Structures are given as structure tokens and as C-alpha cells.
Amino acid sequence: MPQHPVHVPAELRPALDQARQAYASWLECRDVDDYFTSDEVDEFAARFTAAIDQFVTGCLDGDTDPLSVRQALLSTFPAAISSGLLDLSAYEAFDSLPPAQVARGTREVAAPVSGATQPRSQEIGTFHSVHPLSVVMELVGLGVKGQLSDGTVEVSQAGILASIFISELTADHLVVTAGNVLDTYFNFIVELSAEGTGTKGHAYLDRPFSKIKRWMGNATALMCELQSLLIEASVQFDRWDLR
């Protein structure tokens, strides 16, 4: 597949965040068979696919490139694609949009309310800078560069081997993903917004540290390297907690 930057319009990011949260819940419940029933796993799957459909349907009303949407789904939800839960071919073209493929036996569940705030699984912290947003995003890219598998600050996608790569990159949004084509171990997200004459930043993981297991060292190194570079650039931290 050609390498294209993934651009997600600002108005669609809440819908994509809802899909990420639903995806993380589905990943967790499917791996804990002794705690969740099969019906509960199906319900998590249904919520995830409903959230995906809401996100893609929202893209119909804008100028989003279908290839970018497909790339976003491929790089962000690989386990759902490899399991057959998410039918990627459904989003090849926007003129015909079938719903996401839900596993047999799942109950129909209403899609999340548009714009609803979803809790982040592991908030790392917030920071602010007098620098303009574009400069801070450049700093963020440099801050994560040392932990990327190939050290290239551009959008790429998962390969067969485990790797750490940038799966999304826009003017104010960066996602570093650790994983391979079959699974995502974690996503580290940095979001920026203009604030007065400067920039506000927010960083978080898409799941708790307890769910990362053997990748905790990689996640910690990633966040520490970013923090160190931002400190060198005199960025002020409101909070930065790596517990």
C-alpha cells in the first residue's frame, strides 16, 4: 500500500477516540476468558464496530481521502482486522458503505453519542509552551524519534515483526504505535492545541501500564525521551506522571 499521511479532521477525532477506547476494551475482554462471558465479549465487539461505522460515516461528509481512512483503520486496529471482526474491504470506497463486519452472535448495540467524552486509559500529563503549535509538534517528533524502530518521523505501518512506528501524524496530533500486523501493544498519543500566544499539550496511552506487560520499558523510554527533549526546549510541564 502506498505510504500516505493520515489526516483525520478535527471534528472527527472524538469519533476516532471513541473507536480507540472501544477497541481497547474489546482487546482486554477477549484475553480474559475467565472473567468475561462470550456475550460480554460480543457486546464489546458490537460497540467497537458501531463506533468505527460512526467514524467512517462522518468522513462521508468531508474531504477526507478514502485511502487515508483505510490507512488509519489498518494501522490503528490490526487485531480487529486480522480476526475478521473489522472488514477493511467495506471501506474501499465511500459511495457504498456497508457496516463493519460484526462477529456472529453479537447483539446490536447503539453507537456512542457523537462528541461524548471518553476517559483515557492512562493519562501521562499535560504541558504548555510559548512556542507556536507547529514548533512544538516539531519538538514532539524529535522527542519520540530515538525510540522509533527506524528513526523516521513520518507515518508508516505495522510490519510482520514487532516495531515502534508513527501511525498518525497531523499538524496537532501524533500517535506512536508499538505492535505488528496482528496486534497493537500500545499507542502513545500527543495532542496539541493553540492556547493564547502559545501551545497546550496533552499526552496519554490508550491503555493502562498494567496492560502493556513486557512493553512497559519501551513505553517508559518513549515518554522519558520526549519529556527530556521538551525540558531542554524550556517547555513547562503542568504534570507528567509515569506511574
* Domains (range + CATH), the chain: 1-119 (no CATH), 122-240 (3.30.530)
Residue 97 scores a pLDDT above 80: no
Judge whether 44 and 25 are in contact, CB under 8 Å: yes
Which percentage of the chain shows pLDDT scores above 90? 24
pLDDT at residue 84 tops 80: no
C-alpha cell at 91: 471501506
E strands, the chain, are 122-129, 163-169, 173-179, 184-195, 198-205, 236-240
pLDDT beyond 80 at 96 = no
Give pLDDT tens digits for 183-218: 888 899 999 998 888 999 999 888 877 777 778 888
Comparing 75 with 1, the larger pLDDT belongs to 75
Q: How many helices (H) and strands (E) does the chain have?
A: 6, 6
Highest mean pLDDT: which range of 88-97, 98-107, 145-154: 145-154
Position 107 scores a pLDDT of 41
> For residue range 19-44, what is the model confidence (pLDDT) as tens digits?
888 888 788 777 665 666 777 777 77
What does the pLDDT read at residue 119? 41
pLDDT band at 9 (very low <50, low <70, confident <90, very high): low
3-class DSSP assignment, residue 9: coil
Lowest-confidence region among 1-15, 40-54, 138-152: 1-15
179 pLDDT higher than 80: yes
* Total Cβ atoms within 10 A of residue 2: 5
Mean pLDDT along residues 75-83: 77
For residue 135, CA distances in Å to 37, 132, 151, 184, 215 come to: 48, 6, 19, 29, 30
Tell me the average pLDDT of the chain. Answer: 76
